[in-house]
Structure 1
Amino acid sequence: MIDIMCLFQQSIRIEIVLSELQRLSVEQDDIACYVMNRPALQNRSNKGQLGNNDETSRADISFIIATIFGVVGASVGFRLAWGPIVWGVGSSFIGFLIGLVIDYFISNKFKKRPDPCVVIIIRCRKDQVSSVEQMLNKNQTLGLTIIES
């Protein structure tokens, strides 16, 4: 007997795979499905981990808006009473705060917990391995390994 382990995103594809496995005469007792829930992003700690920063920091958008506000504030400051330096620094600070508020609302509105992954373990005969493997690849498996026991 050979074990095939595959990984899928949770979707309708899993139901299709399970029905096609039964069509390929793989017994229901030889199929095991496990849902792997991903931890929430707030529970993850990136301290001490290098190269694991896939997201932009909260300050990125704020610095961009602060720069835009600072340039416009300094330009307008030539015509105002306190001069370009005070107006540039003040408008940069205001732009930074506006950027933080915008980023807070955007990140809370569009924050989506990633879909859990599903691991399917299939035990089949040696003559079924190639057909099962082709079927799994056709249904967009994220990962596939064959374990001979």
Structure 2
Amino acid sequence: MQIFATFEHSTNIELAISELEQKGIDDLYAVPLDNRTEERKLFDTIHRSDGVSLSQTGLFLAVIFSTIGASRGFVLDWGPIYWGLIGAFFGFVLGFSFDFFVQKRVRKKQRVLRGKASEVIVIVECEESQKEQVERILWNHFALGVAVTA
């Protein structure tokens, strides 16, 4: 029977492995995962999307600013159509710039501050009778997740 567990990179892994070895379980394998080295792309393609839209706020502000521009355009020289288009352009640029700044600067800092390091996968090969004991040891040492396969 194989038991898989994931841990954050910490001393809890060593404590769990040493306790399992003390219980007579020597068939252990720990694999550290690598961190991503390249930055995420901000602009989506047709084949890949991360669910973050840079144009959503821009389109919202474009509607608001074009409405205001068109209504004020009735008393201004160029008329409501030109002022509506100017307002839409200005609103879209303002919203797009805001979303771009938030995604590029603020979210990047939040990812760095969170400090989530790569995880470690621990694979334990044990007997059916040791399953409960191994699971309890892994959970007691702050495993992020545990899976059992027969």
Answer yes or no: same fold by TM over 0.5.
Answer: yes
Are the structure 2 counterparts of residues 64 and 11 from structure 1 closer, same or farther at C-alpha, using a change threshold of 3 Å? farther
Deviations 1:3-24 (A, max 9, x none): 312234x355xx3354144334
Q: Which one-letter code corresponds to 1:141 in the other structure? A: L
**1:79, CA displacement in angstroms?**
2.2
Runs of 4 or more, structure 1, over 6 Å off, are none
> Which structure 2 residues correspond to residues 59-98 of structure 1 after superposition, within 5 A?
59-98=55-94
Equivalent residue number for residue 148 of structure 2? 145
> Which structure 2 residues correspond to residues 25-104 of structure 1 after superposition, within 5 A?
25-26=22-23, 30-37=27-34, 39=36, 40=38, 41-42=40-41, 47-48=46-47, 53-104=49-100
**CA–CA separation in structure 1 for the residues paired with 2:26 and 2:45:** 41
**1:146, CA displacement in angstroms?**
2.8
Are the structure 2 counterparts of residues 72 and 28 from structure 1 closer, same or farther at C-alpha, using a change threshold of 3 Å? farther
In structure 2, the gaps of 5 or more residues are none
**CA–CA separation in structure 2 for the residues paired with 1:120 and 1:88:** 60
Q: Which one-letter code corresponds to 1:5 in the other structure? A: F
Please report the TM-score for the alignment, with normalisation by the length of structure 2: 0.69
2:132 aligned residue (130, 133, 140): 130
Equivalent residue number for residue 5 of structure 1? 4
**CA–CA separation in structure 2 for the residues paired with 1:115 and 1:64:** 37
**CA–CA separation in structure 1 for the residues paired with 2:53 and 2:131:** 46
**CA–CA separation in structure 2 for the residues paired with 1:135 and 1:83:** 74
The percent of aligned pairs where both chains have the same amino acid is 26
Are the structure 2 counterparts of residues 81 and 27 from structure 1 closer, same or farther at C-alpha, using a change threshold of 3 Å? farther
Bigger Cα displacement from structure 2, 115-124 vs 59-68: 115-124
Are the structure 2 counterparts of residues 46 and 28 from structure 1 closer, same or farther at C-alpha, using a change threshold of 3 Å? farther
**CA–CA separation in structure 2 for the residues paired with 1:64 and 1:133:** 51
Equivalent residues, number: 138
Q: Secondary structure at the match of 2:136?
A: helix
RMSD of aligned C-alpha atoms?
Answer: 3.1
Please report the TM-score for the alignment, with normalisation by the length of structure 1: 0.70
**CA–CA separation in structure 1 for the residues paired with 2:125 and 2:12:** 18
In structure 1, the gaps of 5 or more residues are none
